[in-house]
């Protein structure tokens, strides 16, 4: 890249030297001068100059200019309200106009105390109003979705929300209705705003026009603490602040890590926190009595029971991990089981492998790419939502997106992602050629398949990504901390696992494992089950001893996201029961293992083995990405047998795990509308052949089981494939029949 | 010899002189001195004439309070359950009077004149917990616990700069 031309701008008599084309607001900031703004937000695309808060006087221009729409030019002399009376007057008038119909609801407004309109009025606005007529009123609050309330009286029409919806998230559901003084923010046809990123408009709105229904009237800015932590709901690991009041998490707001999330969060991360207070939360250890009943027991007795189970089983233990544990929690478990009992057998959530570390890039690099290729069966937004936003940003910048999957631009059968990788690497492939030539190409694996990382690494190597700094590859795992858990489990011992037969004890760690059908199947074969879960419903009927689990907002430690970035989790609120590490350390003591109950000490112990001796304190507030690894020899690739394909009558079932699913989301009333409807997606071809149209009730059958679902046509879906969300697919087999009910 | 040989006698003189003066001791609680009208005592929460609470639960009093002794937890009014005039109301309103310094900032901060400080100062209790005043207690008129000898004088205080005593 060529170095940009530097220009000198004078702002209020101070000189700033910036690259040509830098926005005036940033230029002023560099000179230490503030230009106040409402509508300006560079993350939303080009400035639109809607609010006129940023008026400045520019030498040589007769009228005041909207500073946010200008860029730095050489020799420009700018005077802001601080030195120019004209600009100050202009801003004062702007604010007076904005406030003409503003309700001044501050005492009942959730934005009060953290409201830019309040702050800027205080600093630049008129002290009192000349408006003596009755103000305009609207019906309020209008719930534009179960999570967002709209107050049109407070809206200052800055169009931040609609710009977000239209250009950043691309859902286009939030629009400005009518023109001029009649303009109003609305959803299209007054449908609920149902989109995975809708919650971001709450944070974007500079006034209290868009507020969270969950946080409504819950707390005031001076009554809260913000705990900097990271979201552990998906493998992106967005940086968030957990707002707590009186020992409860009240909301989640973004903490903007420019390399990870750029300040955006998905609605799952933003709103799912209320599952901490779910009704069926387990708060004390439970012991199975009789066949299905549970009785709460004290912790001493629980540890006795756990010890008895562990001693009885010896090394014939299998541990099913969720991939949502902290690195320290997983290591604690591994120390106890592997070190103390020699029980090395574990069901790890997913194997990410280290092969991709040689092609590591920050997520923000996707934005700068010119070609993005996504392989795999699942839509990116269901697996790692923020990655979807980065891809959209790349597309806005002119990048081309190629998706190779069952509903992609390159159609590929479900389960054939590994084959797609091989095809792309083959000399004849057109996309492969472009990937090879590009200096800024990104590969993304978004789908099941344990060896995704390795396949992708093989492809990246074949395409000559080694040594190209702008080219990288990402594997989107299914679990938030699968990589960290795998690393921690491996760090505790390097002995080989032998699968015990019969299984004496199955330890189920975490909710994802507890709701995994494969783990349930293992439990059938195990003599006893020890479950560590958060919710009653997940433990009932199959566990012999249940220990309460904690959520990511309730524990300290570290977690590793899909890039391989180690990030710090901080405890926002106290869990209702001691956290995992606390009782693990007591249990370990009974087996003669010294395991400290503090994450910092545990991390110190495992860091030299797993993370090259990184200190706990160095995992900073905005964690850095480790540098690319040396290209290592690739692990041997296994080819799984391809799944059975459609024969025209039977269709291939593609299950996917929607973003809004899982134990936490199920327990958040406000998020129910986001959960997948009971639908089966059909390709146009298959639907036509069966005379099914969108909206028809159909019955999906296979080998004796059948489910009634509503049909939806997806024109992009490959023929011969039907797609059903995991939670509605039940025990359907790989090939299904679809008939009109 | 002490440097002031008659010092003790002088001292006793002062003491003896007091015997012939009128005592200024006031027999509290039988007699209560008049208070200034702006004396700041126990708080009171107010209602509108139609019975709705004036407080909307905005927590501005809690923000202003230097002793951090006000706790407000707000909730939303509904058509069936309307407590205050605005969108929100105080579901919980507590003042910890054992911590209050009676500065009156809460009164100043309130945008709806929902809270004022009254003249009640007899607030002793046997337990600290009893000094946490809940919303119900603050909405009700203060209970007069100590018998007053001269009710009239007490209830309409005459400032002493007028009586000259
Ligand atoms: S948006 Fe800001 S200025 Fe308007 S009522 Fe709310 S707090 Fe007050
Ligand atoms: S709702 Fe908020 S973000 Fe949207 S236009 Fe109005 S003030 Fe701006
Ligand atoms: S994208 Fe993932 S990490 Fe970010 S908020 Fe959503 S669930 Fe959390
Ligand atoms: S009088 Fe002062 S100390 Fe007492 S509650 Fe009010 S603001 Fe707080
Ligand atoms: S910030 Fe410049 S016009 Fe809104």
Contact A486, A475 (CB under 8 A): no
What is the reported pLDDT for A413?
A: 86
Class of domain A286-350+482-618: alpha beta
* Ligand approaching nearest to the C-alpha of A159: 2
User: Prior bond to A502 cis, omega within 30?
Assistant: yes
**Phi, psi dihedrals of residue A539, rounded to the nearest 5°:** -110, -20
Q: What share of chain B is helix, strand, coil (3-state, %, to 5)?
A: 25, 15, 60
For residue A142, name the pLDDT band (cuts at 50, 70, 90): very high
> Chain A within 8 Å of B111 (Cβ-Cβ)?
yes
Identify which of B75, B76, B111 has the shortest CB distance to residue A107. Answer: B111
Identify which of A105, A216, A223 has the shortest CB distance to residue B59. Answer: A223
Identify which of B58, B62, B63 has the shortest CB distance to residue A108. Answer: B58
Q: What is the mean pLDDT of residues A145-160?
A: 96
Q: What is the DSSP letter of A167?
A: I
What is the reported pLDDT for B149?
A: 46
Q: What are A17's strand-pairing partners? A: A8
User: How many residues can be counted in chain A?
Assistant: 741
What is the reported pLDDT for B146?
A: 54
Q: Which two tokens stand for residue A638?
A: 């296994």
Closest C-alpha among A108, A151, A246 to residue B83: A108
For residue A183, name the pLDDT band (cuts at 50, 70, 90): very high
Q: How far apart are CA B123 and CA A599, in angstroms?
A: 48
Contact A136, A105 (CB under 8 A): no
> Chain B within 8 Å of A123 (Cβ-Cβ)?
no
> Chain A within 8 Å of B74 (Cβ-Cβ)?
yes
Question: Which atom of ligand 1 approaches the CA of A115 most closely?
Answer: 2
Question: What is the residue-wise DSSP string for A180-242?
Answer: GGG-EEEEGGG-----TTTTHHHHH-SSTTEEETTTTTT--GGG-EEEEEE--SSTT--EEEE
Q: How far apart are CA A107 and CA B61, in angstroms?
A: 11
Q: How far apart are CA A59 and CA B108, in angstroms?
A: 46
Closest C-alpha among A86, A92, A96 to residue A156: A96
For residue A633, name the pLDDT band (cuts at 50, 70, 90): confident
For residue B145, name the pLDDT band (cuts at 50, 70, 90): low
Residues of chain B with Cβ-Cβ distance to A107 below 8 Å are 56, 58, 60, 86, 111-112
CA A382 to chain centre: 9
Question: What is the residue-wise DSSP string for B39-78?
Answer: ---SEEE-B-TTS-BS-----HHHHH-TT--EEEEEEE--
pLDDT reading at B148 higher than 60: no
Q: What is the DSSP letter of A2?
A: P
Burial B110-128 (b: 16+ CB within 10 A, else e): bebebbebebbeeeeeeee
Angle between helices A327-334 and A580-590 (to 10 degrees): 20
For residue A708, name the pLDDT band (cuts at 50, 70, 90): very high
All CATH 3.10.20.740 domain ranges in chain A, comma separated: 6-100
What is the reported pLDDT for A108?
A: 94
Pocket of ligand 2 (CB under 6 A): A 155-161, 185, 204-207, 209-210
What is the reported pLDDT for B63?
A: 95
**Phi, psi dihedrals of residue A72, rounded to the nearest 5°:** -70, 130
For residue A14, name the pLDDT band (cuts at 50, 70, 90): very high
Q: Which two tokens stand for residue A371?
A: 């070609």
In a mutagenesis test of the B interface, which of A105, A108, A118, A211 is the best target, namely the one with the most B β-carbons within 10 Å? A108
Contact A251, A562 (CB under 8 A): no
pLDDT reading at A458 higher than 80: yes
Share of chain A above pLDDT 70, in %: 99
What is the reported pLDDT for A448?
A: 82
> Chain A within 8 Å of B63 (Cβ-Cβ)?
yes
pLDDT reading at A507 higher than 90: yes
> Chain B within 8 Å of A137 (Cβ-Cβ)?
no
CA A347 to chain centre: 24
Question: Which atom of ligand 3 approaches the CA of A233 most closely?
Answer: 7
Q: What is the DSSP letter of A168?
A: I
Ligand 1 close to Cβ of residue A119 (< 6 A): no
Chain A nearest CA to B29, separation (Å): 40
Q: How far apart are CA A187 and CA A150, in angstroms?
A: 10
A107:B60 CB<8 A: yes
Q: For residue A243, what are the contacts with CB-CB under 8 A and spacing of at least 6? A: A215, A219, A224, A225, A226, A227, A249, A250, A251, A252, A253
Contacts A–B by Cβ distance under 8 A: 34
> Chain A within 8 Å of B87 (Cβ-Cβ)?
yes
What is the reported pLDDT for B165?
A: 45
Q: What are A239's strand-pairing partners? A: A230
A222:B56 CB<8 A: no
Contact A253, A243 (CB under 8 A): yes
CA atoms within 13 A on the CB side of A24: 29
Residue of B nearest to A223 (CA): B63
For residue B159, name the pLDDT band (cuts at 50, 70, 90): very low
Residue of B nearest to A220 (CA): B59
All CATH 3.40.50.740 domain ranges in chain A, comma separated: 286-350+482-618
What kind of fold does domain A355-475 have according to CATH? Dimethylsulfoxide Reductase; domain 2 (3.40.228)
Q: What is the mean pLDDT of residues A264-276?
A: 96
Ligand 5 close to Cβ of residue A35 (< 6 A): no
Closest C-alpha residue for ligand 1 atom 4:
A104
Angle between helices A116-124 and A85-100 (to 10 degrees): 140
CA angle B81, B83, B86 (to 5 degrees): 110
Closest C-alpha among A564, A530, A572 to residue A547: A530
For residue B162, name the pLDDT band (cuts at 50, 70, 90): low
Closest C-alpha residue for ligand 4 atom 5:
B100
Dist. CA A545 → ligand 3 center (Å): 32
- CA dist list (Å): A153 to A178, A532, B62, B89: 15, 49, 27, 20
A108:B88 CB<8 A: yes
pLDDT reading at A240 higher than 80: yes
B63:A112 CB<8 A: no
Q: What are A738's strand-pairing partners? A: A700
Q: What is the mean pLDDT of residues A103-112?
A: 92
Dist. CA A551 → ligand 3 center (Å): 15
| pTM for this prediction | 0.91
Question: What is the residue-wise DSSP string for A304-318?
Answer: HHHHHHHHHHTT-EE
Contact A296, A226 (CB under 8 A): no
Contact A683, A698 (CB under 8 A): no
Share of chain A above pLDDT 90, in %: 74
Q: Which domains does chain B have, with CATH numbers?
A: 40-145 (3.30.70.3270)
- Long-range CB contacts (within 8 A, 24+) of A420-429: A420/A375, A421/A375, A421/A455, A421/A456, A421/A458, A421/A459, A422/A459, A424/A373, A424/A375, A424/A459, A424/A463, A425/A458, A425/A459, A425/A462, A425/A463
Q: How far apart are CA A120 and CA A143, in angstroms?
A: 28
Q: What is the pLDDT of residues A463-505, one digit of tens each?
A: 999 888 899 999 999 899 999 999 999 998 888 777 887 889 9
A112:B76 CB<8 A: no
What is the reported pLDDT for A2?
A: 57
Q: What is the mean pLDDT of residues A287-297?
A: 85
Q: Find the helix or strand (DSSP H, E) in which A728 lies.
A: helix A726-729
What kind of fold does domain A6-100 have according to CATH? Ubiquitin-like (UB roll) (3.10.20)
Torsion angle in degrees (nearest 10) through CA of A578, A584, A586, A588: 180
Residue of B nearest to A140 (CA): B87
Domain A651-740 sits in CATH 2.102.10.10:
no
Q: How far apart are CA A38 and CA A52, in angstroms?
A: 8
Strands A77-79 vs A410-411: parallel, antiparallel or unpaired: unpaired
Contact A276, A233 (CB under 8 A): no
Closest C-alpha among A703, A709, A704 to residue A739: A709
Q: What is the pLDDT of residues A652-672, one digit of tens each?
A: 999 999 999 999 999 999 999
Q: 1.10.10.10, 3.30.70.20, 2.60.40.10, 3.30.360.10: which CATH number matches A106-119+130-277?
A: 3.30.70.20
Closest C-alpha residue for ligand 2 atom 3:
A205
What is the reported pLDDT for B142?
A: 81
Ligand 1 close to Cβ of residue A101 (< 6 A): no
Q: How far apart are CA A58 and CA A383, in angstroms?
A: 48
Q: What is the mean pLDDT of residues B143-154?
A: 54
Closest C-alpha among A195, A162, A151 to residue A673: A195
* Ligand approaching nearest to the C-alpha of A99: 1
Dist. CA A150 → ligand 1 center (Å): 13
What is the reported pLDDT for B157?
A: 47
Q: Which two tokens stand for residue B40?
A: 């700041």
């Amino acid at each position: 890249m060529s170095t940009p031309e530097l220009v000198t701008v004078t702002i209020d008599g101070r000189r700033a030297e910036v690259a040509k084309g830098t926005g005036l607001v940033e230029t002023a900031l560099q000179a230490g001068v503030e230009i106040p703004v409402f509508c300006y937000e560079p993350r939303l695309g080009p400035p639109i100059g809607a609010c006129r808060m940023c008026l400045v006087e520019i030498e040589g221009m007769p009228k005041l200019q909207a500073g946010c729409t200008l860029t730095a030019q050489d020799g420009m002399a700018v005077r802001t309200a601080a030195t120019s009376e004209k600009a100050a007057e202009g801003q004062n008038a702007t604010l007076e106009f904005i406030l003409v119909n503003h309700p001044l609801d501050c005492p009942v407004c959730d934005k009060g105390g953290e409201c830019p309109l309040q702050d800027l009025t205080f600093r630049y606005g008129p002290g009192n109003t000349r408006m003596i007529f009755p103000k305009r009123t609207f019906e309020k609050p209008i719930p534009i979705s179960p999570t967002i309330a709209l107050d049109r009286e407070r809206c200052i029409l800055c169009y931040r929300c609609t710009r977000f919806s239209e250009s950043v998230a691309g859902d286009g559901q939030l629009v400005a209705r009518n023109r001029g003084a009649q303009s109003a923010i609305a959803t299209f046809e007054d449908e609920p705003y149902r989109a995975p990123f809708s919650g971001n408009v709450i944070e974007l709105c500079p006034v209290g026009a868009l507020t969270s229904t969950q946080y409504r009237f819950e707390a005031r800015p001076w009554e809260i603490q913000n705990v900097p932590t990271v979201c552990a709901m998906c493998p992106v690991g967005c940086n968030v602040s957990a707002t707590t009041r009186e020992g409860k998490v009240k909301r989640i707001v973004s903490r903007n890590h420019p390399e990870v999330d750029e300040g955006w969060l998905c609605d799952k991360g933003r709103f799912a926190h209320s599952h901490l207070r779910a009704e069926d939360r387990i708060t004390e250890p439970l012991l199975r009595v009789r066949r299905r009943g549970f009785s709460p027991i004290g912790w001493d007795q629980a540890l006795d029971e756990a010890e008895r189970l562990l001693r009885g089983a010896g090394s014939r233990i299998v541990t099913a991990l969720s991939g949502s544990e902290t690195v320290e929690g997983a290591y604690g478990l591994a120390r106890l089981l592997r070190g103390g009992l020699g029980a090395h057998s574990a069901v790890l959530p997913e194997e990410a492998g280290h092969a991709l570390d040689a092609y590591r890039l920050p997520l923000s690099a996707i934005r700068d790419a010119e070609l993005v290729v996504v392989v795999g069966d699942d839509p990116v937004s269901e697996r790692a939502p923020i990655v979807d936003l980065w891809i959209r940003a790349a597309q806005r910048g002119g990048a081309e997106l190629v998706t190779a999957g069952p509903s992609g631009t390159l159609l590929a059968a479900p389960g054939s992602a590994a084959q797609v990788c091989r095809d792309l690497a083959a000399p004849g492939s057109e996309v492969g050629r472009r990937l090879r030539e590009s200096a800024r190409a990104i590969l993304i694996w978004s789908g099941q398949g344990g060896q995704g990382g390795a396949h992708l690494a093989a492809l990246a190597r074949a395409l000559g990504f080694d040594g190209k700094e702008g080219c990288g590859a990402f594997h989107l795992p299914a679990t938030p901390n699968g990589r960290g858990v795998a690393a921690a489990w491996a760090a505790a011992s390097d002995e080989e696992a032998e699968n015990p037969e019969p299984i004496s004890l199955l330890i189920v760690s975490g909710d994802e494992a507890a709701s995994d059908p494969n783990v349930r199947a293992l439990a059938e074969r195990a003599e006893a089950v020890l479950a560590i879960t958060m919710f009653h419903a997940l433990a009932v009927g199959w566990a012999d001893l249940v220990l309460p689990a904690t959520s990511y907002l309730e524990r300290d430690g570290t977690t590793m996201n899909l890039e391989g970035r180690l990030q710090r989790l901080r405890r926002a609120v106290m869990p209702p029961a001691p956290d995992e590490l606390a009782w693990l350390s007591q249990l370990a003591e009974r087996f003669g293992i010294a395991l400290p109950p503090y994450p910092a000490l545990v991390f110190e112990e495992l860091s030299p083995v797993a993370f090259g001796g990184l200190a706990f304190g160095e995992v900073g507030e905005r964690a850095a990405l480790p540098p690319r690894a040396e290209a290592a020899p690739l692990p041997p690739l296994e080819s799984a047998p391809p799944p059975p394909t459609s024969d025209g009558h039977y269709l291939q079932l593609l299950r996917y795990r929607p973003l809004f699913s899982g134990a936490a989301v199920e327990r958040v009333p406000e998020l129910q509308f986001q959960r997948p409807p009971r639908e089966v997606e059909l390709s146009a071809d298959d639907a036509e052949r069966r005379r099914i149209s969108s909206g028809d009730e159909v019955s999906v059958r296979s080998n004796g089981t059948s489910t009634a679902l509503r049909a939806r046509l997806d024109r992009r879906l490959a023929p011969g494939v039907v797609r059903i969300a995991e939670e509605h697919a039940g025990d359907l087999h790989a090939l299904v029949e679809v008939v009109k009910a | 010899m002490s440097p002031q040989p008659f010092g003790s006698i002088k001292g006793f003189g002062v003491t003896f002189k007091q015997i012939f003066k009128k005592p200024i001791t006031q027999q509290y609680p039988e007699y209560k001195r008049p208070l200034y009208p702006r004396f700041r005592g126990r708080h009171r929460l107010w209602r509108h004439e139609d019975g709705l609470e004036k407080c909307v639960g905005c927590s501005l009093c809690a923000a202003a309070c230097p002793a951090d002794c006000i706790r407000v937890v707000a909730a939303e009014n509904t058509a069936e359950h309307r407590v205050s005039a605005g969108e929100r109301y105080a579901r919980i309103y507590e003042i910890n009077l054992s911590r209050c310094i009676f500065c009156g900032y809460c009164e100043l901060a309130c945008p709806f004149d929902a809270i004022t400080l009254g003249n009640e100062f007899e607030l002793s209790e046997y337990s600290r917990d009893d000094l946490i005043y809940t919303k119900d207690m603050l909405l009700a008129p203060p209970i007069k616990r100590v018998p007053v000898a001269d009710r009239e004088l007490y209830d309409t205080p005459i400032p002493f700069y007028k009586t000259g005593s």
